[in-house]
Amino acid sequence: MPYLFTSESVSEGHPDKVADQISDAILDEILKQDPNSKCACETFVTTGLVMVGGEVKTEAYVDVQEIARDVVRRIGYTKPDYRFDADSCGVISSIHEQSPDINQGVDRDKEEEQGAGDQGMMFGFATNETDQYMPLPVDIAHRLVEELADIRRHCGKMPYLRPDSKSQVTFRYDDDGKPLGIDTIVVSTQHDEFVKADANTPEAQKRADNQMLSRIETDIRNILIPQVAKTYPPEIQKYFETDFRLLVNPTGKFVIGGPHGDTGLTGRKIIVDTYGGRGAHGGGAFSGKDASKVDRSAAYAARHIAKNIVAAGVAEEALVQLAYAIGVAEPVGVYVDLKRSKVDMNNAEAAEKIKAIFDLRPHAIIKRFGLKHPIFEETAAYGHMGRTPGKKVVRINGHKEEIETFTWEKLDYVDEIKKAFNL
């Protein structure tokens, strides 16, 4: 029997994502000066206030206030009307040194023997539903809010937009887990109060609110959704041509938003950051953590493995779990679950193949993906997975260097996996 599956995303202006981006911006600045830094940085944002705390072991000095304001400004909180803006918000820092009890379990005389920064289990997932090997609901949800932010910044067609927004996409699937079509799209976007009531009465305010909602809904339907659809190949564009339900600002009005409307905190959007609820999640957040924390680095490694498995044609979907003990280099568990597999082997046999191909010690993961580089701020909005690998030039210890981004999204182990699985 066909079923429905739903995923959501949030924009860079969502309070929790503001916090994530500040945390990762601070991490990046630390890594630019001292790549061996250890960092666990948390951020709290609310009306007129940014608070940063956490544990850091580094030789670097960073201006937390300047970094926080730069992030808030880049996102678009630049007007006093928002009750949270880059120039007037207070910034408080309460960062202290990392516990030596934790650090002694991580650092080793030999780098390759570096222990995991904590215990826990991390999951990676991939499916052949999209060219990015991501589930369709979360992929479309990301693109809706990302495109909305681009329209706000550059297009001018929706001049009333403010930075905070959310999306949600419900897909219909058949019995075999194949997508059939979009059932519902929900878009909630913060906006200016661009229609004023003509009288000081509840009825007049209601008329004004309805006029604003009507304009926003029309623009979402006729501007945003067609622009998002055009970013996909024809086999996915067809889903946007079906008669799906569209819900826009269901409460009717969304003027008060951002950190003024809802307090934000680092690490509260872990499902948005990963697969939209598909696969599984070990519970660990990413932003603000250096790569010695396997919550982050091993989750990237698990995604890399799952993506290369599916790209190699081993299965249509793959779920990979890695588990670690604090201070221990080798994972205590490797699990692989193949859906609609193309190979004649069970999941335990598949896991043994993966263990033989990939070095899953933290040092090896960090080296493989270049995770001592300052590449994390751009991961903190619109998902850590399913992004396009690229390059950028940054200044590290005073010298310009070209570094790679989203390296865990590379399809660089496909041939090796094909050989191991006799494909």
Binding positions: 14, 16, 42, 55, 98, 164-166, 253-254, 262, 268-269, 285, 289, 293
* 47 DSSP β-pair partners: none
The answer for residues whose C-beta is within 8 angstroms of residue 164's C-beta and 6 or more apart is 11, 13, 14, 15, 189, 190, 254, 257, 258, 261
**With contact defined as beta carbons under 8 Å apart, do 86 and 72 qualify?**
yes
Count CB atoms within 10 A of the CB of residue 81: 11
Secondary element (H or E) of residue 107:
none
Rg (CA), the chain: 22
- Rounded to whole angstroms, the Cα distance separating 338 from 354 reads 12
How is residue 24 written in tokens? 């990762």
Indicate the annotated binding residues for ATP: 14, 164-166, 253-254, 262, 268-269, 285, 289
Look at residues 388, 417, 410, 408 and name the one whose alpha carbon lies nearest to residue 312. Answer: 417
Query: Among 308, 310, 332, 329, which Cα is nearest to 321's?
Result: 332
The answer to whether 345 touches 336, Cβ cutoff 8 Å, is no
List residues forming the annotated binding site for Mg(2+): 16
Q: Which residues are annotated as a binding site for L-methionine?
A: 55, 98, 262, 293
Annotated binding-site positions for K(+): 42
